[in-house]
Structure 1
């Protein structure tokens, strides 16, 4: 099971920042073959959840997401860059990751609407957390997405 920790951007160590950027690029850019600007300007104002395995001396980033406060990207609170390392998949960590993200949002932004731009193939996954799709499917960086609200 990963060790979970929340950090603001200034609290991230250089190794943690490098690790999360590397994991996001490994999955979203290389594996999913989506050419896009990952460093989108939202990381500095976001809260970052890191799920690490390994030892404290040599942690391995297994799962990650970021929470964007209301007004940073959307009027609503949001979360994104939800990613599990290939080596940590099929262990339920994606569900745990989203549960922890939603708990953080409820604690820090209670009763605030949540908006996400989800990859369309994950629609059912996010619906299991109470999200509903709004609007049509759209292309974002070569991958079908849909806006979802909760």
Structure 2
């Protein structure tokens, strides 16, 4: 990624997580260098062009699932399908790189239905973090997902073999 892309991603993450959600934490946590970053931008000359973003990390021996975190949609793009398109692309990237791995997301309780549309199921929680109730949702490998709005099945390529 370019220095500008990294800056704009960090700016978007700060705007949503630190400013909007009032979560004070060190965002530059040392995981960005080895993570896969999936994001959508509009005009890169704008001060806030990142419309959606997610960070993907491969787990370790203790937590082998692929972790999706730092998921955000800019306030201007909420409710217009941008979040769904982001999640479809994230799951496609995971299926291409780590098809046999389960996927885990820690999400606000209010987003449970959103993640369930993509085959995730609650596996932990709820618990409080920074005053917000969260759950952990997990998606097993080899699961096809039917997109609610389009009705199209999103089938990972390894399922067709």
The structure 2 residue matched to 1:39, chosen from 8, 22, 28, is 28
Deviation of 1:88 after TM superposition, in Å, equals 2.2
Conserved 8 A contact 1:70-1:78: yes
Conserved 8 A contact 2:16-2:74: yes
CA RMSD, 1 decimal: 1.7
CA distance in 1 between partners of 2:53 and 2:61 (Å): 19
More strand by share: 1
**Equivalent residue number for residue 13 of structure 1:** 2
Deviation of 1:147 after TM superposition, in Å, equals 1.1
**Equivalent residue number for residue 8 of structure 1:** none
1:115 aligns with 2:104: yes
Deviation of 1:73 after TM superposition, in Å, equals 8.6
Indicate the SS of the match to 2:91: helix
The structure 2 residue matched to 1:79, chosen from 28, 48, 68, is 68
**Equivalent residue number for residue 49 of structure 1:** 38
What is the number of residues matched between the two proteins? 137
TM-score with structure 1 setting the length = 0.84
Using CA pairs below 8 Å that are at least 6 residues apart, which structure has the higher relative contact order?
Answer: 1
Q: Unmatched 5+ residue regions in structure 1?
A: 1-11
Deviation of 1:120 after TM superposition, in Å, equals 1.2
CA distance in 1 between partners of 2:119 and 2:66 (Å): 15
Q: Unmatched 5+ residue regions in structure 2?
A: 140-161
